[in-house]
Amino acid sequence: MTTADHASPFYVTLKRALELRGTCVEDICPPDDQVARRVLHDYGAMFIGADDILPPPLCVFSSEEEVARFQKAAGHTAATIGDAVIELQPAAMSALLKARAAALAEGLDITPRDGAEAARRSHADTVRLWNSRFLPALDHWLMVERLSQTQAERLHSLPVNEQVPEVLELEKEGIFFSKDLSKSVLYSIAAPGTSQHIAMLAFDANEFADQRVREILARHGWFQTVLSDLPHFTFLGLAEAELPRRGLRRVEVDGQTFWIPDVT
């Protein structure tokens, strides 16, 4: 990790937040692990949230056992919205249900996108989602001959954790693995074992395009923190005015407000 990173507002806040939990940046994200560092910069907002949420002890979970242990420690509650049962950390669920009640009172609604997957996910869920982007993109780049048969077969045969850094390298050359093949796969889905959904601090809402819904969610501590992932909201449990002091930077994209780690 460079000196510039450590001096940035996000790292200053993160260091303090982790110290309070008896850990440090190097423990949760090994400095020489490019994927972990990318994850920290892209999804790191969850690490500097309110005291009543538990962020993951690692940037990248490597097994279902690790995920299960963390999810048990964090605790989660379930609620039924429409025909989907969703699960979140208790503080996140309580705020979401209050936001939904506020939305309903205004004739709006907040509903889960793609059913139960909108909230808590297991390690296996993140692997399945990875494959839903990785495999079709691999076929595409093979078909248009940007990848050779040998390259594609080699990538396919790698363990999933090793596919991620290789994909990020290819994306530097414009060989993108998102659903529409136009941007990094990490803007489309999280790398296996890294999702804010694993942390049970994320909710994908069908109504993300409605500004009034976004404002209601923000008033209840739910913010868009992952650039380009429009339906995805993160529970920080903080007032919006507090976010700059937590090392997050406000970015407007197409009229939507994102709060992302200020690492530059």
Binding stretches for Zn ion (CB under 5 A): 202, 204, 232
Smallest separation (angstroms) from Zn ion to the CB of 54: 18
Smallest separation (angstroms) from Zn ion to the CB of 43: 10
Instruction: Name every residue whose Cβ is closer than 8 Å to that of residue 254 and which is 6 or more positions away in sequence.
Output: none
Contact 230, 237 (CB under 8 A): no
DSSP β-bridge partners for residue 112: 205
141 vs 204, which CB is nearer to Zn ion? 204
Contact 52, 237 (CB under 8 A): yes
Smallest separation (angstroms) from Zn ion to the CB of 158: 25
37 vs 232, which CB is nearer to Zn ion? 232
42 vs 204, which CB is nearer to Zn ion? 204
Distance CA 73, CA 57 (A): 11
Smallest separation (angstroms) from Zn ion to the CB of 113: 8
Smallest separation (angstroms) from Zn ion to the CB of 189: 8
143 vs 251, which CB is nearer to Zn ion? 251
10 vs 203, which CB is nearer to Zn ion? 203
What distance, in Å, lies between the first and last C-alpha atoms of the chain?
Answer: 13
* DSSP secondary structure letter of residue 23: -
- Residue 109 class from Cβ within 10 Å (0-12 exposed, 13-18 middle, 19+ buried)? middle
Instruction: Output the residue with the shortest Cβ distance to Zn ion.
Output: 232
99 vs 202, which CB is nearer to Zn ion? 202
Smallest separation (angstroms) from Zn ion to the CB of 50: 19
Cα-based angle 235, 236, 239 (whole degrees, multiple of 5): 120
Distance CA 187, CA 42 (A): 9
* CA–centroid distance for 64 within its chain: 18
